[in-house]
Amino acid sequence: MKLWRPTSPDIWQGRDDSLEARNALRLYQTLAQTGHFTPKHSGIALIGFECDAGVKRNHGRTGAAQAPDVLRKALANMASHSGHDNITDMGTIVVEGDQLEAAQRALSDAVQACQQSGMRTLVFGGGHETAWAHGRGVLDAFSQERVLIINLDAHLDLRKAEHATSGTPFRQLAFYCEEQNREFQYACFGVSRAANTQALWDEAARLHVTLVEDLDFRREALPALEKVLAQADRVYLTIDLDVLPAGEMPAVSAPAALGVPALDLLPVIGEICRSGKLQAVDLVEFNPTYDRDGQGARLAARLAWQIAHWWA
């Protein structure tokens, strides 16, 4: 596997309560690790994407390349419950310099291999350029099925650009679907009208994107979710952490002026997890450089913990 490295065992450390009871375990004690990229026939493949080249190209605050291992460390010491023993750390795809496209290809190939082997994928980005690679891998793995892309995000990420950036992934996925004569099914929940130009809003209308604005999230998110889920065979969920209020998630490239609180997001995430259609998830745009006392890392890790638990 090109541009791949295994995760250092030193990352997965935590408190040991095993003398208290046999089931007093933490996630680092139940998660499987591998020194080579060999997908299993079931379970959750945790993959890092060590990249913020797309954020840099999009003129954002860089630092998201540090995120995968920081999030692993934040996740390691959380209690292990149902579903968490299904996780295998499959290592990290890294970017060499500005070779974003090569790294995206490597991530797509890794995701496709895991999905076709029978695993679901949980990716820790990286900027939102992660989504082009992750989404393409899922689309390729299920080429004959209806794949719904759900983006929890303040931004539409439908920008026009000469090269891939963190602002272009869903436009790229739209073109990819068009090339394959398949429907582009994209829903963006939590989107901020203040953070997207009218040109982006028009592009979303042209592509028939399902939108739920941040102001309407509590009232409209679950009914809209029910409609889009009914039209899908598989779901790829991508969570841009800048959908959260800046007070909850300061550690992103573009902190939200308003945002959707985590306690409002979780019922939507829970419905997606329990739909039986969720195939892939990523958490992106976490930037440790701007974290406050590990606050953002703990919240992002809790979201990942909850998803793995509900996935079970």
- Backbone φ and ψ for 47, nearest 5 degrees, come out as -125, 135
Residue with tokens 């931004």: 155
Distance CA 191, CA 157 (A): 10
The alpha helices in 14-81, defined as continuous H runs, are 27-30, 53-57, 67-76
Using DSSP bridges, classify how beta strands 44-50 and 120-124 pair: parallel, antiparallel or unpaired: parallel
Q: Do 148 and 156 meet the contact criterion of CB atoms below 8 Å apart?
A: no
pLDDT digits (tens, 9 = 90+) for 292-302: 999 999 999 99
Cα within 13 Å of Cα(247), Cβ side = 5
Residue with tokens 């591998």: 34
Residue with tokens 């800048």: 242
Average pLDDT over residues 229-238: 98
Res 303: pLDDT: 98
For residue 284, the SS3 value is strand
Q: What is the mean pLDDT of the chain?
A: 96
Assign 143 a pLDDT band (cuts: 50, 70, 90).
very high
CATH value at residue 199 = 3.40.800.10
Distance CA 199, CA 228 (A): 24
For residue 127, the SS3 value is coil
Assign 14 a pLDDT band (cuts: 50, 70, 90).
very high
Res 98: pLDDT: 83
Res 226: pLDDT: 98
pLDDT digits (tens, 9 = 90+) for 168-210: 999 999 999 999 999 999 999 999 999 999 999 999 999 999 9
Distance CA 288, CA 107 (A): 22
Which residue range is the domain that position 119 belongs to? 4-311
Distance CA 70, CA 299 (A): 12
Res 124: pLDDT: 98
> Is 80 exceeded by the pLDDT of residue 1?
no
pLDDT digits (tens, 9 = 90+) for 146-168: 999 999 999 999 999 888 899 99
- Name which of 286, 152, 272 is nearest 217 in CA terms: 152
Number of domains into which the chain is organized: 1
What share of the chain has pLDDT > 70, as a percent?
100
Distance CA 14, CA 83 (A): 19
pLDDT digits (tens, 9 = 90+) for 46-99: 999 999 888 899 888 999 999 999 999 999 999 999 999 999 999 999 998 889
